Structure 1
C-alpha cells in the first residue's frame, strides 16, 4: 500500500452518507480553463528530468521577460491562478510577462516516470525538496531558456518552492547565472524558536513518519483518494467547515488572517488542493527543524557515510547562492518566522531586498484574496528594476 488516500470500504460508506463535494465554478475548472476564463491562453508541456520524472509545465504566453513560478508542499501550480486576476500567476500575465509554472514530481500533474510506476514502485516516492531542486527545477529552467532563447529568467518560489531553489543553486552554482532575480516568498530554510503547536507536531514527526513507512505509505494526499475526498467534502459545507478547517487547522498552523481567506473561497480552494507529495518530503523538513540546520537528507550514519562520505549530512552552502535574491516575510506567519528569514538574509551573499509584510500569514502569499493590495506592488517593482 503506497498511498495514504486509499479506498477502504468504511471510508466509502461514510462518504456515501455525506452530501457531494460542493464546489464553486472556479473550483470545478482545471488550470487551462481557469486561465482561459480570466482572459489568457495556456499551454502544457512535459519536461523529463535527468532521473526520469515526467513533469507537467504550464505556460501563459506573454511578450515580456519569462518568469518561472514554483509552489509549496502539498500544492501545485493551481493556487497561482485560482484567485483569477487576484492570483499572482494571472496578475503577472495581465502585466504581459511570459509566465511558466512548474508542477513538482508527485503532484497530481506530475505523477509519471519513464520507468517507475507510482502505484507499484516505492522508489518513485524516494524524493524530497532536494530532488525537486537538483532535478525538477534545473530541468525546467533549462527548458524555459531553450524554448524562449533567453539567457536569464526571473523565478518566484513560495515556501518549499524556495527551499528547492536554494538547494539547486548551492549544489549547482551555474544555475545562479540563469536567474535575473529570485523572489523567495516565506522560504522554508530555518526553523528556530517555533511556536508550541509546530514543536509538538515536529517533535512527534520521526515516530509518525516511521509509522507511515511501516504501513507502506509513501504517497500522501493522492488526488481523488477517498480519504482526501472526505476531507474536501467536510471543508466545503459552509460556516461549520470554516470553523473546523480554517479556524481549527489552517490558521493555527499557518498564521491568523481572516481578511484574506473568506468562507466562500473554500469551495474554490478544495477543488484544487491539496496535491500529492511524498512521505520523504515531510521527513526532510522535519529533519531541518530537529537538526536546526539547512542540510541535505539524513539517511542515518551508515548510509550517510556511503552517500556523503560523512556520518552527518552536509549543509547546503548558501554562500554559493550568488543570484540576486529578494526575501519576503509575513508578519503573521507562524510557520516561517520573520526572525528565521532575517537569519537567512545574513547567510545569503546577495540579498537585494528584504520585506516584512503586515497581516500576512504563510499561505496568504499565494491564496489571499487581498495579496494584490500588499504584495503585488513590491513584486512588480522588483521585476521592473531587474528586468
Structure 2
C-alpha cells in the first residue's frame, strides 16, 4: 500500500512539474493584483475580541482618470462563505468586480473574516486552540464587519461607505444594518449579491446531506475547529487535475456549492480552486445547517439552557431586518441559484420595512458563483450593481 501511495504522489509530482501553471495560482493576493497592473496594499485589522483580519486596498485603477480623481467614493467588498477577498480579483481585470470598481473611480477595500486564510491570527489564541474556532456568522456581523468599517473610515477620512456583499457577506451587511443603526448612516448605498439569510429551501447536495445529520454527529465527525481550509491538496488539484481536465474542477465546485460551471471561464478554474475554499469554522457551518432546519434567519442556537445564558430567552433571536430603514439596498438574485433560492429570498424581502427604499434585480440563468466568477458578469451584472450604487444613495 505504501508503494502505491509513493507511485501515486510521484506521478502527480511529475505531472505538476511538466504542466504550465498560471502565476496567479501560486500568488498571494497582493501579488495577484499587482500581476494585473493594479496597486494594492495589505493591512491588518484587529477586532474587539482579538481576531486579526487582513484587508486589501486598491486605491485606483489602471487608467489615469481613476488615479487622479480625488476624493474617491469608498467601497467595501465582503466575500461569502468559505471564500476570501481573492474572489473579487480572480477573473481577468475586465471581468472581476474589484478591478472594474477601481477603474470606474472607486477607492476599493476588500475585507476578510475570522477563520479564512486571511483571518487566522488572534492576539491570544492560535489555530491549534479550539477557542479560536468558537465563532459563527454572528461574530462576523458583531465584530468583523464593524472593525473593518471603522478601519476604512479612519484610513480614508471618509464619513460614508458603499457596501457590496456576496452570499454570507450580503447577510453580514444586512445583519449589521439590522442590529447596529449607525451603519444605516454610514452606508451610503448597498448592493447585496445573493445575500445568505433564510436557507430552508437551498438545494446544495452537500449542505442538504449535512443538515440531515444530528448536530452531535456533525461535530463528532468534523471536530470543533476548522472546516474546508485552503490546504496543499486543494492547490495540488488546481495545479494538476484542473489543468489537465477542467471537468474535475467543475465536479468539485458542483459538490461544494451546487453551482453550474457553464458560465465560468474554464481557463481560470485552476486559479479559482487554488484560492477557494478558504475555510471557516465547523461552528459557522453548523449555524447554516441550523438555518436550513428552522426556516428562520436567526442567531446561533445554543439549546434552551445555552440560549438563556447567551440571549436571556429560550430561543435565539431572529435578525430584526424590519428595523432597516436606510440606506437604499439593491438585492441581486440569480434564477438558477441553488444556495439562495427564490422561496428563501422572498421571505427576506417580505420582512423589509415599507419605509426602506429597495430594489430587486433578478439575473437570468445565474447561480451562486456567477456573481463573483461569472464570465459575463461584467456585462450582465456589474453595470447594474454600479448603477444601483451611484443612483440610489441615502438621502
| Same fold at TM > 0.5 | yes
SS at match of 1:124: helix
Does 2:338 match 1:334? yes
SS of alignment partner, residue 310 of structure 1: coil
Task: Give the conservation status (yes or no) of the 8 Å contact 2:192–2:332.
Answer: yes
Q: 2:55 maps to which residue?
A: 57
Moved more, 70-79 or 9-18: 9-18
1:277–1:192 CA distance, 2 compared to 1 (3 A): closer
User: Residue in 2 aligned with 1:133?
Assistant: 141
Distance 2:238 2:118 in 1: 19
Which of the numbers 369, 372, 379 marks the counterpart of 1:366?
372
Aligned to 2:76: 68
Equivalent residue for 2:291, pick from 288, 298, 316: 288
Change (3 A) 1:243 1:67: same
Distance 2:115 2:86 in 1: 15
The structure, 1 or 2, with the larger RCO (C-alpha pairs under 8 Å, 6+ apart) is 1
Q: CA deviation at 1:76?
A: 0.4
CA distance in 2, matches of 1:101, 1:276: 17
Q: CA deviation at 1:37?
A: 2.8
Alignment of 1:1-387 (within 5 A): 15-19=9-13, 21=16, 23-62=21-60, 63=70, 64-85=72-93, 86-119=95-128, 121-195=129-203, 197=205, 198-204=207-213, 206=215, 208-212=217-221, 216-223=223-230, 225-229=231-235, 231-232=237-238, 235-239=241-245, 242-247=246-251, 249-250=253-254, 253-258=257-262, 260-323=263-326, 324-349=328-353, 350-386=356-392
**Kindly tell me: are residues 191 and 217 of structure 1, through their superposed partners in 2, closer, same or farther at Cα, counting changes over 3 Å?**
closer
Q: Give RMSD over aligned pairs.
A: 2.4
In structure 1, the residue corresponding to 2:274 is in which secondary structure? coil
Greater mean alpha carbon deviation, residues 19-28 or residues 281-290? 19-28
- Contact 2:242–2:249 under 8 Å retained in 1: no
Q: TM-score, normalised by structure 2?
A: 0.87
Q: Give aligned pairs, total.
A: 372
- Are residues 94 and 125 of structure 1, via their aligned partners in 2, closer, same or farther at CA, if it must alter by over 3 Å? same
TM-score by length of 1: 0.89
Unaligned runs of 5+ in 1: 1-8
What displacement does 1:386 show?
A: 3.6
Question: What is the SS of the residue equivalent to 2:208?
Answer: helix
- Deviation of 1:29 after TM superposition, in Å, equals 2.5
**Deviation per CA, 1:149-184, whole angstroms, max 9, x where unpaired?**
211110000001111222222222222211011111
Name structure 2 gaps, 5 residues minimum. Answer: 61-69
Q: Deviations over 1:174-203 (max 9, x none)?
A: 222110111110011112334383534422
